[in-house]
Chains A and B, each alone.
Chain A
């Protein structure tokens, strides 16, 4: 039996690593193609991002972009919905479709030998989707069921109430990306066809990542499929405004009598990824405030008080500006003291942040990067997110370089800027019996919504 080593081992410095750089191709129809060979990644990840901001939806049809994206594989000129399902599933093709602030994103996971089929189906859906009445009606009903489920989930309910409270009602972000009950219920196949007709390859991005050793013709295959899709000649413009409501500095309680925990959701203005402070600065800030059980928040609320399973903090970038967000659930009878303690923790000025915690947080973000980007899907997701946001593939590597030399002063300045901005919008979902004292926390007026 070996003897015990009581001396703590030294850590060797991390090995060199850079975010992998894809090859870039311009397809004749205006799509930009990024291809990255990652040996050993036997499932290939394909991503397509097309400009179609939800802010360009006709008022009253909010959610039409998301429903259109979801209905792309529900019938084409050549195949019915069921035929498409069989075609994709017999080839093990996993398909995803969504919508965001800037537009539509489609994703496919597929083994190398079925890449050709996957790209053909993807192209057929983009070019020839027909949006049959029965399928659209079914998807709309499912979306309404999803909305009901979101309303019943305290975390999802809090986030819905937050956008309603925080964003100016004149702007699209005031309404959930997927629309609300009224707008979704009114959607027709014609609404979806109109959104579909506005899709353009120009300014769009295709990303293909994975082990390409068995698909040497991958670029030609993409060019022959997605590259042949015509679409609209000109893409729609950039996303509309996302202004903060003049009344956002307040507290809103969504009553849920008897709920064993209260969901807390706090938000205020934050940066976008082009911030002069550097995006990495905010990644480190999020970590040291609310990124782990020993971060500033959970060190107290979880580990000292036992009031929560975890409260997280972070930053959500948008096209212009973004959000600082803090959220989690706390024991119902500790609602007021937990919120008070949380606000106290978050009020720490930049000068109160320490050298050691900044270094640890920055090192964590920088040194976890190789592991975070170890799979084809993670690399593809990052690439498409960067390019959709107008940034280049080198952004990750540049952010990591910034993190290596990040100073406590830089982080302090970034946090002070957040604190100097407009105050918190606070949403609580929980038992109103534990809401006493909220008005005394200096968070502005308290209102209760159904």
Chain B
């Protein structure tokens, strides 16, 4: 079923891409500024800077005081937030329609004139906040280090995805004010940014406002890095055993997948569904329901732009069960999926689940704005949001089988085994150990 969300795309003379989807269901507007800078753009020794900027962008700019970006929007009934990933940093707002112009003016000030307000004091304070964020989200929760380990096993040392977005606390501690200013100039500019606006406003109004408040931005960014050559499936079955105080023994099987823009990515994502995402998936049926050797199993396909994506299978091993038996069973199912392809139920359930969850994602203005910005920045075509479900329906069982046979075989997995033990014996990355207290 083709979707028909209205999409209006244009590019301002300074290179800023603007995409608008008009919808008057409620008197609000959601906007996303999607900036083509994430952890993959960071260089060795200066990791974590992309994410640090997600914080610094709320600390004031030339005409806006510290914290005022958020407080002045909130006082009008606006919400503001930002997120950073491997590939991009996204700044989001949702405002009553009458506050759209204020939001765009605030965005223009911080995206074009941040540096006068980026002081040593702000830098030091937000560095401390990021250290606490890392402790809260990664260091103090069970399995919090899993993604970091996965990236190190799946991607070679010099690869842009070898490190995660939170970065190294040693690198952050070492970053100077000059480093941060240089990073901002290199990456924040109209040509690296997509503005996406969804809601109670016409494309004509948005374009006029975008031109008024973002049209003057000048570009001093460095050329975007070329795409890294796609990596083949992993070889050599790398693995890591982590002994830690965890509630369940847990296995992560991590795979390389094609880039998210590669037509081969979608069959891989559906193969992950067939393996573990749904109740009818083979690993759920066999390990969770029938053999009860696991108490939880899930799969995710993390779509990335720079040549290679990552797929993860996660299994919580039941108490008293040997994790090696679970690993063997997973290997058997990986081989079977590559040999026979998905069952009819697995394929149909994957399509139906994808349809419902895509429509749920598009139901609200915030996420629709995010997906439109993504479609524009990553796929080069905002209409991708209307086309995606047709692409899903077009994937055949044979394509899913081929994807599994090529990308998801036991020999192509990196395995992380969390084993229960009293203390953490995992070799934490050197730089994290080295700075446990350095930034205080």
Interface set of A (CB-CB < 8 Å, partner B) = 1-6, 8-17, 38-43, 81-82, 85-86, 88-94, 109-111, 138, 141-142, 145, 148-149, 151-154, 259-261, 292-294, 299, 302-309, 329-331, 333, 359-360, 363-364, 366-371, 373-378
Contacts and interface: CB of A to CB of B under 8 A. Distances in A.
B177 interface: no
A153 B363 contact: no
Nearest to B104: A9
B356 A1 contact: no
Contact of A92 (B102, B126, B355): B355
Q: Which 8 A-B pairs have the closest CB atoms?
A: A367-B77, A306-B128, A12-B98, A92-B352, A2-B215, A15-B27, A85-B279, A89-B349
Interface stretch (B32-40, B129-137, B223-231, B263-271): B129-137
Nearest to A73: B279
A370 B75 contact: no
Nearest to A12: B98
Contact of B353 (A92, A371, A377): A92
Contacts of A15: 27, 96-98, 200
A90 B349 contact: yes
A112 to B, nearest CB: 10
Contacts of B355: 92, 111
Given A86-B280, A111-B355, A152-B246, A363 B216 contact: no
Nearest to A374: B26
Which of A39, A109, A110 is packed against the most chain B CB atoms within 10 Å? A109
Interface stretch (B66-74, B149-157, B302-310, B376-384): B66-74
Given A110-B356, A377-B360, A152 B132 contact: no
Given A12-B97, A92-B353, A148-B247, A367 B76 contact: yes
B296 A142 contact: yes
Nearest to B212: A5
B142 A149 contact: yes
A1 B30 contact: no
Nearest to B317: A145
B247 A94 contact: no
B79 interface: yes
Contact of B360 (A14, A43, A309, A373): A43
B70 A293 contact: yes
A368 B73 CA distance: 11
Contacts of B136: 261, 309, 329
A288 to B, nearest CB: 11
A221 B58 CA distance: 50
Given A17-B26, A292-B74, A85 B356 contact: no
B63 interface: yes
B23 to A, nearest CB: 7
A420 B207 CA distance: 54
A445 B345 CA distance: 59
Contacts of A303: 66-67, 125, 129
Contact of B26 (A154, A306, A370): A370
Contact of B25 (A38, A110, A141): A38
B289 A371 contact: no
A293 B56 CA distance: 13
B131 to A, nearest CB: 8
Contacts of B351: 92
Contact of A86 (B128, B200, B345): B345
Contacts of A154: 140-141
A3 B213 CA distance: 9
18 contacts: A4-B108, A9-B101, A14-B76, A43-B360, A43-B363, A82-B285, A86-B279, A88-B279, A89-B349, A92-B353, A145-B316, A152-B245, A152-B246, A303-B129, A329-B132, A367-B76, A370-B26, A377-B360
B14 interface: yes
Given A2-B215, A8-B63, A261-B140, A367 B96 contact: yes
Interface string B371-405: 00000000000000000000000000000000000
Contacts of A363: 75-77
B212 A2 contact: yes
Contacts of A369: 77
Interface string B340-355: 0000010011011101
Contacts of B94: 368, 371
A3 B77 contact: no
A82 B343 CA distance: 14
Contact of A6 (B63, B99, B348): B63
B96 A370 contact: yes
Interface string B111-148: 01000000000001111110111011101111000000
Contacts of A93: 356
B248 A1 contact: no
B292 A141 contact: yes
Contact of A11 (B30, B98, B140): B98
Contacts of B85: none
Contacts of B75: 359-360, 363-364
A290 B58 CA distance: 18
B359 interface: yes
Contact of B279 (A89, A152, A260, A308): A89
A91 B279 CA distance: 13
A371 B26 contact: yes
A9 B26 CA distance: 22
Interface centre among B139, B316, B360, B440 (most CB of A within 10 A): B360
Contacts of A148: 247-248
B216 A39 contact: no
Contact of B141 (A10, A17, A153): A153
Of listed B26, B76, B140, B357, residue having the most chain A CB within 10 A: B140
B216 A11 contact: no
A329 B77 CA distance: 27
Contacts of A366: 77
Contacts of B124: 306
B211 interface: yes
A187 B132 CA distance: 41
A82 B290 CA distance: 10
Contacts of A43: 356, 359-360, 363
Nearest to A141: B295
B365 interface: yes
Contacts of A375: 363-364
Nearest to B133: A309
- Give the one of B28, B102, B105 with max A CB within 10 A: B28
B149 to A, nearest CB: 18
A109 B132 contact: no
Given A145-B247, A331-B131, 7 more contacts: A4-B216, A12-B98, A41-B363, A81-B289, A148-B248, A308-B132, A374-B365
B351 to A, nearest CB: 8
B289 A138 contact: yes
A97 to B, nearest CB: 14
B392 to A, nearest CB: 11
B345 A90 contact: yes
A378 to B, nearest CB: 8
A4 B211 CA distance: 10
Contacts of B45: none
A259 B295 CA distance: 26
Given A1-B215, A111-B355, A294 B27 contact: no
A142 B352 contact: no
Given A8-B105, A145-B296, A89 B278 contact: yes
B129 A364 contact: no
Contacts of B137: 309
A42 B363 contact: yes
A39 B359 CA distance: 13
A90 B348 contact: yes
B132 to A, nearest CB: 5
Given A306-B129, A360-B75, A371-B79, A1 B13 contact: yes
B261 interface: no
Contacts of A329: 132, 135-136, 140
